[in-house]
Amino acid sequence: MPVDWNLFASALQHSRDGHNLKALAVLSALIGDAETDSDRAAIVLGEASCYSQLGDIAKSRELLESARIYAQEDRGVLSQVNLSEAILYALEKKYDLACESSCH
């Protein structure tokens, strides 16, 4: 069964509303429906965002690395991964690394 992108969008809304654990539960369930590496990358990227909002930067960074591997063939998703990585560096006040990461 393909990914239900409406469900994915609702998970992102849960995250924006501050319900990151609920969003993570939905995203974790969706990963099994991923048919392509781009699908997997998008879902893992969503999970990384939730973990960063929960303050678990290490887990978020780990998931971003997984998303980067999945997104190797999808330039659009790969740029989202790079932007997310830059945001994490900015949160850590590592501005030089943030600029470097966003330029890849």
Helix then strand then coil, % of the chain, to nearest 5:
80, 0, 20
Residue with structure tokens 């994915």?
A: 8
Residue 104 pLDDT > 70, yes or no?
Answer: no
Q: What mean pLDDT is reported for the chain?
A: 94
DSSP-assigned letters across all residues of 45-77:
HHHHHHHHHTT-HHHHHHHHHHHHHHGGG-HHH
Q: Where are the domains of the chain?
A: 5-102
Q: Is the dihedral of CA 37, 42, 46, 49 positive or negative?
A: positive
Question: Per-residue pLDDT tens for 7-56?
Answer: 999 999 999 999 999 999 999 999 999 999 999 999 999 999 999 999 99
pTM: 0.90
**CATH architecture for residues 5-102:** Alpha Horseshoe (1.25)
